[in-house]
Each structure stands twice: as structure tokens, then as C-alpha cells.
Amino acid sequence: MDERSDGATGAGQPGAFARAWARAVSGTSYLPMTQAQLEELLQRLTDRLSEALVSEPFDPRVGYQIGAELVEAHVASAEGLGRTVEVVQLRLLRDLGLVAEDVEEDRMARLLASVATGYARALRDRTLDEQESIRRAAMVARAQAERALRESEARFRHQATHDPLTGLPNRTLFTERLAAALDGPGRATDRVGVCFLDLDRFKVVNDSLGHQVGDRLLVSVADRLRLTLGGHLVARLGGDEFVVLVERTTCTDDAVKVAEAALTAVSEPALVDGHELTVSASIGIVERPVAGTSPVDLMRAADSTLHWAKAAGGARWTLFDADRNRQELERWALSAAIPGALERGEFYLDYQPLTSLRDGVVIGAEALVRWRHPEFGELRPDSFIGLAEETGLIVPLGGWVLAEACREAATWSPAGAPAPFVSVNLAVRQVHRPGLVQEVVDVLERTGLPPGRLQLEVTESAMMSAVEEPVRALGVLADLGVRIAIDDFGTGYCNLSYLRDLPVTELKVAGQFVAGLRAPADDPASRTDERILASLVSLAHALELTVTAEGVETEGQAERLRAIGCDTAQGWHFGRPGPAARLLEHPARPA
Ligand code: C2E
Ligand code: CA
């Protein structure tokens, strides 16, 4: 094979020049092809170069194309161009077996110049293309990111405003919608209704059948509410609490109808995990003009109203009642004022004598708390004790009563008679407090009152506790010598047999039994009451308990109580509650 045929193979096999060219440019940039493919490509270009060198007329455009093709084939670096120019200049003519005279004088230079120009242009175009596609890719990526962001925002917003269990709107969304219903444009003259719904005894389902069944029941209730009340916003506020927003009501009845539909929907039996469950609900309804109300007002009112529905036995709706609400608020305000009143010394104690029916001696006195209220005047315990028990404020108040009663009783020393004991009422909450024993022991120690001169009055219900602790605590106190009386006996469980096991020293028989003794002795009902009292007294005595009759208002009652063997009496007949000084004036009133 001669030099010429070696450099320009008709069959496209790479000749010596194409191979040398390939060697020169390989490694100058990344080439997505094998060495053989590169050689093949360069052989084609070599063929066209050699043709261009000799063809008539000379056409430099061939150079541009070759430059462009090199770039297209990724021989696309300044280095690659340099090596190309070099190898063509040095070897092309020789390798093709051409002599300089065969080629017109300046053709080689012009051809190389056009290769370089084509190469540079193609490289520039490619760079522009790349920049463009990068720009376009960036745009696409940004659009995608924005869409993803919008989607995840929507998802996030849905999650933030819906309850995951039932899929209902949650408190956040409800609050937003309620605010809009009260305050939105064109709403000023609207009316609005809120139905606050809570399942009755849902806790029993949860506790007895498990939380999973409870959850499914909630889902089923939610579905039924949504289906029935679809036109109104139904939200789950948490637990078994749901709320329905009734917008643009024309009158209270609009909201009542919604509540009735909700109660019916809830009361349908639900099949959950093979259990057929029937639940009921209570609903508090508030319906009023939007003017002059706020979301907080509305929800607070709906909440109170719901509690009224519950307190009335559940399975019903109840309508908000402004008067009732005001009374409750006043009661609450009174209760909330207890701590301040304690600090300002607004409470004081009256004492009512406990008189022995045998000899008329005042053997003890019950401490009864009173409140000298700066605004409402003298308040009887009935107006604040109940609420103080509910709120727990009875603990500090009762603590004060105990300390004050012991402090005062320690100073009693009536002439010619043993000092009476002081009898202090203990609320259920106080009896159930773990620190009771210590509190009593501390007070006795501080005041110097002997334990035998303190009596604690507890109700039957305080004793009838599932936990042993209260009874144990009273047992410890009884062992110290403190007297324990059951207050208002007969109004609660009235179970004598359990008294045997309790650390009790005395029964105080409720005034209502004693009231029967006011009627003439030959009245049959009165005779029955007397017989009941008589057997109660003898049973108590068999258990070594003393009996005090409460509410003794007449000499006749006192007489009959004495006759049946009752030990002690308390009541207006023997002395109204009053300051301790009065109690001590006549310690021993002859029977
Ligand atoms: P209670 O323990 O049954 O106290 C007797 C109540 O009957 C007293 O009412 C007393 O004034 C009244 N009373 C006394 N004799 C007669 C009578 O002959 N006829 C009539 N109709 N009533 C009579 P008060 O002082 O209003 O006390 C009411 C209740 O408040 C007490 O009932 C007691 O449960 C409770 N209470 C009073 N002070 C305290 C206290 O310091 N702590 C606790 N936890 N409760 C107290
Ligand atoms: Ca009492």
C-alpha cells in the first residue's frame, strides 16, 4: 500500500493521518465515543480536507463545516483546535502523499483558517445553546418547585385545619369561619347559631371496648353528622366534642332544628367492630344577632349551655339562658373571691351548742362558717360552701375553719363545767386529701387543744369511698382521741352495718327525721318517725355510738328525743348559732 492510498482510503478505513489526528486530539476533551469511532470520523474529515485542497475552484466553506463537525463530535476545546491545526499543518500533505506543488500556494493556510473559524463559531453556538438549555431547565425546575410548594402548602393547610381522625374541619378552621360569620362583610345585621355537641358517656365506650372502637365510633358519628348537616360547617373540637356553625339564622328555631337533626343522626345505632353501639349526645345551643357578640363569648355561652344539657341528664339540647348564666357567673365570682376574702379576714365562725339531753349541759359546739361580704353582707354557708367544694377552694377555707375553731375552743373554760368540744365540718375533698392527718395534728399542737376536744363531722358519702385512704386517715385521728361524727345521717346511704368497721364515735341524725317529732304524739306518721328514730338510737348504742339529733326546735321534740334515749340535741330550742361568748354564758342549762 503506498503512502497516498494509505492516507485516503476509499473504503473509509482510517489511514495513518486520521490515526495521527485521533491521537493528537484524544484527551483534549471528553469524547463520548471509542478511539475507533473517532478515527473513523476523522478519516471522513480527512477525505473532505484532501478533496478541498485540490478541487477547483477552492471552496473554504468545507473548512467551516469540518470545524463545526469537530465541535459537534465533542472535539470541542481550544486545545483540540490547536492540535488539529498542528497535525494538519505538519502531516496532512505528507501523509496523503501530496507535495506542496500539488496544492495551490495559500490553500492550506486558508483551509486551516476556515476550519478554525467554523470551529470557533460552532463552539460559540454550542455554548449559547447550552446556556439556553440551562436557562430553560432552570425555568422548568423553578416552575416545578413552585407547583410542588403550592401543593404542599395546600396539603399543609388542609392538615392544619382538619382533624386527622374524622377528616372534619378542626377547631382552627371552625374559629376562622366563626370569626368570618360574625365579622365578615355584609354580616352586621345577621344572626348566627352555634350547636356545641358532646357525646354522653363516651368514656364508657372507650374504657370498656378500647380506644380503637371509640375512635371508629367517633368516625361514624362524624360521618353521620356531615351527611345530615352537610349544609353547615361541622367541626370536631377534640375528644367527643363537635360543633356546628349555623350561619345566617333567622330565629332561634333554625338552630334548634339543626340540633334536633344532629341528635337524631347521633342516636342511630352504629355497627363498630361487630358491636352495635347506640350513643346519645347533649347539645348546648346559642343563637343570637352577630352584633355585640364575639367568638369567645359565643363559645363560652355554648359551653355552659352544653353543661346544663349534661346536668339535666343528657340526650337533649338546651338553649342558652342569659339569666341563668348570670347567676352562675355570680356564683363563680363569689367562689373566686374566697382566697382574697380569707386574706382580708372576711370569714368568721358562729358556734351552735350541742346539748346533753340527760342533764342539759353544753358538751360541745358546732362551728359554722359565715362570710361578712363587703358587698353582699352576711353570707350563709349554703351560698358558697357548695361551690367552694366544686372548685376545691374548700381546702384552704376548711383549713382556716379548722385552725380558727381549734384556736378559739382552746380558750374556752366555762365555770363549773368541763370545756365543750368543738365540732368542725369537713368537706369530702378535705377528707380525701392526703395531708389531712398531718394538718389536724399540726393544728392541735399549735393551738394546744386536746384531741378529745375536737370533733370532725364528715358525711356518709365521704366515708363511702372506693379508696381506703380516707377511712384510714380518720382511723388514725380517732386513735389520737379525735371524735368522728357522721353528719346528716339518714340522708345518704343510711347503712348501719358498715358503721361497725368505721372509726366513728357519733351519729348526727338529720333534722328532717327530727322534724317528724313536731307533730302531736298521737299522729300516726309522727309515731312512725319516732319508732324509726328509737330503733336507730338503740342500734347506734349497740355499736357504742352516741346520737345527736339535729334541728331540734321545740321542747316537745326534745322531750320525745330524751324519752327514746337520744344523747345530745342541737337546734334553735337549745341555742341558735352565735359567737362563742354567748355559748359560754350558759354552759349548763337545766334540762
Ligand atoms: P349542717 O352541718 O347540717 O349544719 C347545721 C345547719 O342547720 C346550720 O346551718 C344551722 O344554722 C342549721 N340549724 C341549726 N339548728 C336548726 C334548727 O333548729 N332548725 C333549722 N331549720 N336549722 C337549724 P348553716 O349554718 O347555714 O350551715 C349550713 C350547712 O353549711 C351546714 O349544715 C354544713 O353542712 C355547712 N357548713 C357550715 N360551716 C361549714 C364549714 O366550716 N365547713 C363545711 N365543709 N361545711 C360547713
Ligand atoms: Ca354539721
> How many C-beta atoms surround the C-beta of residue 411 within 10 A?
12
Mutate to test the pocket of ligand 1, among 354, 408, 425 (most ligand atoms within 8 A of CB): 425
Query: In this structure, is residue 150 part of a structural domain?
Result: no
Based on the fold, state whether residues 562 and 508 are members of the same structural domain: yes
Average pLDDT over residues 131-137: 91
Of 255, 267, 266, residue with least CA distance to 318 = 255
Average pLDDT over residues 371-376: 93
What is the model's pLDDT at position 281?
97
pLDDT at 537 over 50: yes
Cα gap 577→455, rounded to integer Å:
17
Of 48-62, 263-277, 551-565, which range is least confident?
Answer: 48-62
- For residue 350, the ligand 1 atom closest to its alpha carbon is 25
Cα gap 405→422, rounded to integer Å:
7
Q: Which of 113, 133, 153 is the last residue of a domain?
A: 133
> How many C-beta atoms surround the C-beta of residue 451 within 10 A?
16
Is pTM beyond 0.75? Reply is: no
Condensed to tens digits (0 to 9), the pLDDT of residues 27-79 reads: 888 888 999 999 999 999 999 998 888 888 888 889 999 999 999 988 888 89
The b/e string for 57-87 (b: 16+ C-beta within 10 A; e otherwise) is eeebebbbbbbbbbbebebbeeebbebbbeb
What spacing in Å lies between the alpha carbon of 527 and ligand 2's midpoint?
26
Domain of 503, in residue numbers: 348-366+392-585
Q: Which-ligand-closest: CA of 507?
A: 2
Based on the fold, state whether residues 214 and 71 are members of the same structural domain: no
Query: In this structure, is residue 165 part of a structural domain?
Result: no
Query: In this structure, is residue 545 part of a structural domain?
Result: yes
Query: In this structure, is residue 2 part of a structural domain?
Result: no
Based on the fold, state whether residues 354 and 404 are members of the same structural domain: yes
Of 416, 442, 319, residue with least CA distance to 361 = 416
C-alpha cell at 561: 328525743
Average pLDDT over residues 333-339: 91
- For residue 389, the ligand 1 atom closest to its alpha carbon is 44
**CB of 403 within 8 A of CB of 367?**
no
What is the model's pLDDT at position 11?
52
What spacing in Å lies between the alpha carbon of 576 and ligand 1's midpoint?
11
Helix ranges (DSSP H) in 337-376: 338-344
Amino acid letter at 450? P
- For residue 401, the ligand 1 atom closest to its alpha carbon is 41
Cis peptide, bond prior to residue 14, ω within 30 of zero: no
Which residue CA neighbors atom 21 of ligand 1 most closely?
A: 551
- Please measure the distance between the N-terminal and C-terminal CA atoms of the chain and give it in whole angstroms: 157
Q: Pseudo-torsion of CA 474, 475, 480, 484, nearest 10°?
A: 50
pLDDT at 585 over 80: no
Query: In this structure, is residue 371 part of a structural domain?
Result: no
**CB of 324 within 8 A of CB of 331?**
no
Q: Which-ligand-closest: CA of 354?
A: 1
**Judging by DSSP bridges, how do beta strands 275-277 and 281-289 pair with one another?**
unpaired
User: Which range in 122-126, 445-449, 488-492, 497-501 is most confidently predicted, on average pLDDT?
Assistant: 445-449
- Is residue 385 within 6 Å of ligand 1 at its C-beta? yes
Condensed to tens digits (0 to 9), the pLDDT of residues 281-318 reads: 999 999 999 999 999 999 999 999 999 999 999 999 99
Based on the fold, state whether residues 496 and 448 are members of the same structural domain: yes
What is the model's pLDDT at position 366?
98
Condensed to tens digits (0 to 9), the pLDDT of residues 175-194 reads: 999 999 999 888 889 999 99
- Is residue 381 within 6 Å of ligand 1 at its C-beta? yes
C-alpha cell at 373: 361580704
Based on the fold, state whether residues 233 and 313 are members of the same structural domain: yes
Based on the fold, state whether residues 103 and 211 are members of the same structural domain: no
Overall residue count recorded for the chain in this entry: 591
C-alpha cell at 21: 489526528
Domain holding 353: CATH number? 3.20.20.450
- Is residue 368 within 6 Å of ligand 1 at its C-beta? yes
pLDDT at 99 over 90: no
pLDDT at 273 over 90: no
C-alpha cell at 53: 485542497
Query: In this structure, is residue 161 part of a structural domain?
Result: no
Cα gap 384→386, rounded to integer Å:
6
Bridge partners of 169? 162
At residue 3 the predicted structure's pLDDT band, cuts being 50, 70 and 90, is: very low
- The rounded mean pLDDT for the chain is 90
Based on the fold, state whether residues 287 and 220 are members of the same structural domain: yes
Based on the fold, state whether residues 255 and 214 are members of the same structural domain: yes
What spacing in Å lies between the alpha carbon of 587 and ligand 2's midpoint?
20
Q: Which of 133, 150, 183 is the last residue of a domain?
A: 133
pLDDT at 147 over 50: yes
Q: Which-ligand-closest: CA of 369?
A: 1
Number of compact structural domains in the chain: 3
Domain holding 294: CATH number? 3.30.70.270
Based on the fold, state whether residues 280 and 401 are members of the same structural domain: no
Based on the fold, state whether residues 103 and 242 are members of the same structural domain: no
Please enumerate in sequence order all residues whose Cβ is within 8 A of that of 167, keeping only pairs 6 or more positions apart, or say none. 222
What spacing in Å lies between the alpha carbon of 386 and ligand 1's midpoint?
12
Q: In the sheet where 281-289 sits, what is the strand order?
A: 233-238, 241-249, 191-199, 281-289, 316-319
Of 389-403, 432-446, 501-515, 537-551, which range is least confident?
Answer: 501-515
Q: Calculate the alpha carbon distances from 401 to 419, 422, 432, 468 in Å.
A: 19, 11, 17, 25
pLDDT at 497 over 80: no
**Judging by DSSP bridges, how do beta strands 506-509 and 546-549 pair with one another?**
parallel
Based on the fold, state whether residues 403 and 543 are members of the same structural domain: yes
Based on the fold, state whether residues 295 and 423 are members of the same structural domain: no
Query: In this structure, is residue 52 part of a structural domain?
Result: yes
Query: In this structure, is residue 160 part of a structural domain?
Result: no
**Judging by DSSP bridges, how do beta strands 191-199 and 233-238 pair with one another?**
unpaired
